[in-house]
A and B are shown apart, each in its own frame.
Chain A
Amino acid sequence: MEKYISLAHGDGGELSHRLIRDVFIEAFGDGNAAMFDAASVAISASKIAVTTDSFVIKPIFFPEGSIGKLAVAGTVNDLAVSGAKPVYLTCGFVIEEGFPIADLRRIVTDMANEARKTGVKIVAGDTKVVERGCADGVYINTTGIGVYEANIGCSLEFEEGDAIIVSGTIGDHGIAVLAARGELGITVPITSDCASLNRMLEMVLQHTEGVRIMRDPTRGGLATTLVEIAEDFNLTMKINELDLPVKKEVHGVCDLLGFDPLYIANEGKAIIVVAANEKDKVIDLLREFPEGKDAVVIGSIIGKDKGQLLLETPLGSKRLLTRLSGTMFPRIC
């Protein structure tokens, strides 16, 4: 087989056929998807969740992850935090001419492995090849379908005093990827937290009551996601700077570059808002999973009349936090 993707791999002819057979079906195992225009799958649920996400990342391979793993975990997590059990995935590839087929194989294998781990099936796919220079390596889109189980989910009914929990250290993914680009010449022993959280979150939902909402703080970081929750539900949320789980190395890099870990991307973390009396139980459940071993309460809901996120500083004052906005323009003189 050829070593590199050519335009002919995307023309729908013989080469396309071989690529699908030798790379995708080989990894995903099930021939059905490639044989029909659409996959027919059986679902027994009165309500399903559908989500879609496109993955564009540089570098494509990074410590403890790749665009493939990310493309599965990211969509799985979107379903999981909405309280659905992920069951099916589709994927679409946009590949740049000249992309190494070995790399593609690696990506697809990562996807297959992650799908197997999470118990989700990849049932349909598509590839397109674009001319050299029209894309940067490979882009992947995944669409996920999840099912809701009766009587399990997030209530969206918030109360003052509800606890805000994060399932682990923040900023790992963003910093790991930044370092992996190699442009800055920084080497840090940080790996991406990229992981599927569905099994862990399912456990939390099944064994506790009083979960109000779950979200995965990806792009924009913890702060942006919390601001969105606060504004969407008109809640005053307070988090405590001293309680934020941040790895020393992440802190160090942020300090050097003028970043704030609160705004750095995560790919394997969940925020859970839960009734105060259930918070310890949730923490205990999370900590049984490797991806939740650093779970911790970081704050609480302190009011229900204004949608705002506050960060209590060690000096005792409460900083008002906003969404990440393009470039962070200095406000101070």
Chain B
Amino acid sequence: MCTAVRIAVRGRVQGVGFRPFVFQLAANYQLTGTVQNNMDGVKIHVEGAREAVHSFLSDLKNKAPRLSKINEILVEEAEPENKAEFTIIASERSGTSMLVIPIDSAVCEECLAEMNEPTDFRYQYPFINCTQCGPRYTIIEELPYDRPYTSLKSFPMCEDCRKEYEDPTNRRHHAQPIACPKCGPKVQLFDDDGHEIHSRIPIMDTIKLLKQGKIVAIKGLGGYHLCCDAANELAVTALRKRKKRPFRPLAIMAASLSTIEQLTELTNDERELLKSPESPIVILKKNNHYPLAESIAPGMNTIGVMLPYTPLHHLLFADPELSSLVMTSANPSGMPILYKDEEACHYLKGIADYYLVHNREILHPLDDSVVQINDGKLDFLRRSRGYVPDPFTTSKDVTGIVAFGGHQKTTFTIGRNEQIFVGPHIGDLENIETIDHYQHELAHLLKWIDTPKGLAVLDVHPGYHVQKLVQEYNFSEVMEVQHHHAHMAACIDEHQISGPAFGIILDGTGYGLDGNIWGFEIFHGDAAGFERLAHLHYTPLPGGEKCIREPWRNAAAMLISLHGERGLELAKAIFTDRVSEIDLLTKMMERNLNTVHAGTCGRLFDAVSAICGVTKVSSYDGEAAIQLAELADEAISFEPYPFALLEKELLTLDFRAMLQGIALDVLAGKDISKISGRFHETVVQAITSAMEKLSGKNPNAEKTIVLSGGSLHNRYLRKRITAELTKRNFKVFVPENIPCNDGGLSYGQLVVAAAKRSASQCVLEYQQKLF
């Protein structure tokens, strides 16, 4: 009995060996037909025995190449065409364009096995790769992706490599970065004076140095890392001191999953993430007998861990006595990751003792991606290596839209057809080095993606540097999007929510449309527009950014502005070493001198953190809130402090009573963990009651809610807010594949712009019809 089916596969199915895989599969089941790339993905026609077609379909999904990512398989009955064989036919240029920019991925099992096989000609070769693994985006100079346009262009293939490259049945068929010890890149070890340490096996020597407690700068896939033995407290402390990074957690690389199991409590989802081809840093809970240096992540219950993702990294773990390394991106404070050899040597002087480098040039630096499983779902803290620039697909035409992102942790996003390309993590646009890096990467992606310069999208903040940068690009139109609307829209688009929804945005700092700082908002709307329904009571920030760097100021200001004389007393009782400064802050607030007003979740957390004595002066952004959150156990539901909802022009969340309660508890010497937990729960309960109120006032509105903003990384908030709202029959969506922090801002900006553009086009068409 012969059946025929037509199959359309959408997703990441081009440039990942999908057609050869389909060809092989058809051969296995003795099916005939065709496979063809088109602009939408891959089109397949197969026919043969019913059973065989069934098996083919199930393998198509379950045995797809490692690097492919199938979003959708559409199967239709078809007329048998009585084909004699199975063939790969030339690409068809119809459908929506599917531009493919290849993505870096962790070394695969097969390559690793070869690397560890003493008889293989690539035995212990640190640059082994194949079509299913290895460097891509980081080494591409120009598209199409072809060896002469990559950093491998200066390494002519040897006979052996060429044979594999040209053999269609070999897994290195057209593996552009193919290399071996004879023809490919090599590693070298240098001391801090730039003298080469001549050694037959530089990696073995590096291991020895690391075991001695040395700090080694290692050139990897997307840039340089600074490494040291993670179990050596002295080495880690020295690294922190030299890098001038006193407290911010450092990531580690661990030899294997079993090493990680000795350090952390690992769930299945986390295990899968760790060993995925993307191989990100995963934030994991330390276990009770966590044996590494305490100074890696001081005050934290969690630690960022990744597995070795390049063959070179695997070789670093050849010695069982060295099973975890600190691996922090080598960048001087505030600057982008170092990836050029000369710059690395220049900037790392006095920081690194040795340099393990290689001569495969990095053309596009990428930081390690950072994710966590938060309330059972993916939560991106940084989306970069392994994920960038894999496009998202949307339902609108986004051609010609370029979103410039925010100011910190920034990314840009480019639209073409129905694809949305989010660029790499760039960092904070304070320094010209980072701004240059931003412009360099933007220029490349603009060229590769080749979208017209139609609509540039910016944040409404007048002081973001991108406001000025955009002028260099000659877009035909510029649109500004409110910060938290962008956060909300990103989540709406990610979950394809049609129709208006409520948006609860808990964030650090965003410029509000009333000239105040927003960041604790309840909106109602969609990608095209929003109405602001509720927000946190504004309090002054005397000294502006200074209050953010020194949360005790913000805390004192909050107490004083909310409680007057009594607040002043409390502030002085809590910050006993700041009494005269507090008087000054009071006068600044009275005169509105260098004072802005803010109602943001981030600042609320900062203030409580300072009142609790957890972080009074911050050494990295978010420190106060992060350290406070570490104290709140999300497994418990705490008893909230009192709070109020004020029916003003907008519903206003009033935490006066809570702040006073916290201050008194702190002064009474109560347990800080419990105070933190109760504070978290108060925020949860206030949001829940506000939502009930708002939903009651708008009975016709769908009970759909999106949550976003940087504070949504907070495990307690994410879990408890979702739980409480779900209990009240709200359907709650959280960002999963797009960061809820400002790394996701550009995505949201693009989505808003696309929605507004199509809305205005509709109006235009309507008007044209009328006249």
**Interface residue ranges, A against B (CB under 8 Å):** 183-186, 256-259, 308, 310, 313, 315-320, 322, 325, 327-333
Interface residues of B in 441-500 (CB under 8 A from A): 461-465, 468
**Do B463 and A317 touch (CB < 8 A)?**
no
Q: What chain A residues lie within 8 Å of B581 (beta carbons)? A: 256
**Do A184 and B541 touch (CB < 8 A)?**
no
**Interface residue ranges, B against A (CB under 8 Å):** 244, 332-335, 347, 407-409, 428-433, 435, 461-465, 468, 507-509, 511, 517, 541-549, 581, 583-584, 587-588, 591, 593-594, 596, 598, 602, 621-622, 710, 741-742
Which one of B407, B591, B622 contacts A183 once the chains associate, using CB atoms below 8 Å? B591
Q: With A and B bound together, what is the CA distance between A308 and B430 in angstroms? A: 13
User: What are 12 A-B pairs at a CB distance below 8 A?
Assistant: A184-B587, A184-B591, A185-B583, A185-B587, A257-B584, A258-B544, A315-B334, A317-B431, A322-B468, A331-B509, A332-B545, A333-B710
**Do B594 and A258 touch (CB < 8 A)?**
yes
Q: What chain A residues lie within 8 Å of B543 (beta carbons)? A: 256-259
Q: With A and B bound together, what is the CA distance between A184 and B543 in angstroms? A: 13
**Do A256 and B584 touch (CB < 8 A)?**
yes
**Given that A183-B591, A184-B588, A317-B335 are known contacts, is A329 also in contact with B583, CB under 8 Å in the complex?**
no
Q: With A and B bound together, what is the CA distance between A329 and B333 in angstroms? A: 23
Residue of A nearest to B508 (CB): A333
Counting from the closest, the 3 A-B pairs by CB-CB distance are A258-B543, A333-B508, A258-B546
Q: With A and B bound together, what is the CA distance between A308 and B205 in angstroms? A: 46
Shortest C-beta distance, A163 to chain B (Å), equals: 20
**Do B584 and A317 touch (CB < 8 A)?**
no
Q: What chain A residues lie within 8 Å of B598 (beta carbons)? A: 330
Shortest C-beta distance, A234 to chain B (Å), equals: 13
**Given that A184-B587, A259-B594 are known contacts, is A332 also in contact with B332, CB under 8 Å in the complex?**
no
**Given that A184-B593, A329-B511, A331-B463 are known contacts, is A317 also in contact with B433, CB under 8 Å in the complex?**
yes
Q: With A and B bound together, what is the CA distance between A318 and B464 in angstroms? A: 16
Q: What chain A residues lie within 8 Å of B742 (beta carbons)? A: 333
**Do A327 and B544 touch (CB < 8 A)?**
yes
**Given that A318-B432, A319-B430 are known contacts, is A328 also in contact with B593, CB under 8 Å in the complex?**
no
**Do A322 and B463 touch (CB < 8 A)?**
yes
Q: With A and B bound together, what is the CA distance between A257 and B347 in angstroms? A: 33
**Do B584 and A185 touch (CB < 8 A)?**
yes
Q: A183-B587, A259-B543, A322-B468 are in contact. List 6 more A-B contacts (CB 8 A).
A: A258-B543, A258-B594, A259-B594, A322-B465, A328-B463, A332-B548
Shortest C-beta distance, A261 to chain B (Å), equals: 13
Shortest C-beta distance, B68 to chain A (Å), equals: 36
Q: What chain A residues lie within 8 Å of B602 (beta carbons)? A: 333
Q: What chain B residues lie within 8 Å of A329 (beta carbons)? A: 461-463, 511, 517, 544, 596
Q: With A and B bound together, what is the CA distance between A10 and B155 in angstroms? A: 88
Residue of A nearest to B434 (CB): A317
Shortest C-beta distance, A233 to chain B (Å), equals: 17
Which one of A184, A331, A332 contacts B584 once the chains associate, using CB atoms below 8 Å? A184
Q: With A and B bound together, what is the CA distance between A327 and B544 in angstroms? A: 9
Q: With A and B bound together, what is the CA distance between A257 and B548 in angstroms? A: 13
Q: With A and B bound together, what is the CA distance between A19 and B173 in angstroms? A: 98
Q: With A and B bound together, what is the CA distance between A258 and B540 in angstroms? A: 13
Residue of B nearest to A308 (CB): B432
Which one of B347, B509, B587 contacts A330 once the chains associate, using CB atoms below 8 Å? B509
Q: What chain B residues lie within 8 Å of A327 (beta carbons)? A: 544, 594, 596
**Given that A331-B408, A332-B545 are known contacts, is A325 also in contact with B463, CB under 8 Å in the complex?**
yes
Q: With A and B bound together, what is the CA distance between A185 and B548 in angstroms? A: 24
**Do A330 and B517 touch (CB < 8 A)?**
yes
Q: With A and B bound together, what is the CA distance between A328 and B598 in angstroms? A: 13
Q: What chain A residues lie within 8 Å of B741 (beta carbons)? A: 333
**Do A320 and B432 touch (CB < 8 A)?**
yes
**Do A320 and B465 touch (CB < 8 A)?**
yes
Shortest C-beta distance, B566 to chain A (Å), equals: 21
Shortest C-beta distance, A155 to chain B (Å), equals: 27
**Do A318 and B433 touch (CB < 8 A)?**
yes
**Do A333 and B433 touch (CB < 8 A)?**
no
Residue of B nearest to A327 (CB): B596
Q: What chain A residues lie within 8 Å of B428 (beta carbons)? A: 332
**Given that A183-B587, A315-B333 are known contacts, is A333 also in contact with B432, CB under 8 Å in the complex?**
no
Q: Which of B431, B508, B542, B593 has the most CB of A within 10 A?
A: B431
Residue of B nearest to A181 (CB): B591
Q: What chain A residues lie within 8 Å of B591 (beta carbons)? A: 183-184
**Do B432 and A310 touch (CB < 8 A)?**
yes
Q: With A and B bound together, what is the CA distance between A32 and B61 in angstroms? A: 99
**Do B431 and A318 touch (CB < 8 A)?**
yes
Q: What chain A residues lie within 8 Å of B463 (beta carbons)? A: 322, 325, 328-329, 331
Which one of B435, B508, B541, B549 contacts A320 once the chains associate, using CB atoms below 8 Å? B435
Shortest C-beta distance, A306 to chain B (Å), equals: 9
Q: With A and B bound together, what is the CA distance between A88 and B509 in angstroms? A: 51
Q: With A and B bound together, what is the CA distance between A308 and B435 in angstroms? A: 12
Residue of A nearest to B595 (CB): A327
Which one of B347, B507, B511 contacts A316 once the chains associate, using CB atoms below 8 Å? B347
**Do B547 and A258 touch (CB < 8 A)?**
yes
Q: What chain A residues lie within 8 Å of B583 (beta carbons)? A: 185
**Do B545 and A331 touch (CB < 8 A)?**
yes
**Given that A320-B432, A329-B462 are known contacts, is A257 also in contact with B588, CB under 8 Å in the complex?**
yes
Shortest C-beta distance, A181 to chain B (Å), equals: 9
Q: With A and B bound together, what is the CA distance between A285 and B254 in angstroms? A: 63
Q: With A and B bound together, what is the CA distance between A328 and B463 in angstroms? A: 8
Residue of A nearest to B618 (CB): A332
Residue of A nearest to B553 (CB): A258
Q: What chain A residues lie within 8 Å of B332 (beta carbons)? A: 315-317
Residue of A nearest to B511 (CB): A329
Shortest C-beta distance, A232 to chain B (Å), equals: 15
Q: What chain B residues lie within 8 Å of A317 (beta carbons)? A: 332-335, 430-433
Q: With A and B bound together, what is the CA distance between A331 and B598 in angstroms? A: 12
**Do A330 and B545 touch (CB < 8 A)?**
yes
**Do A325 and B588 touch (CB < 8 A)?**
no
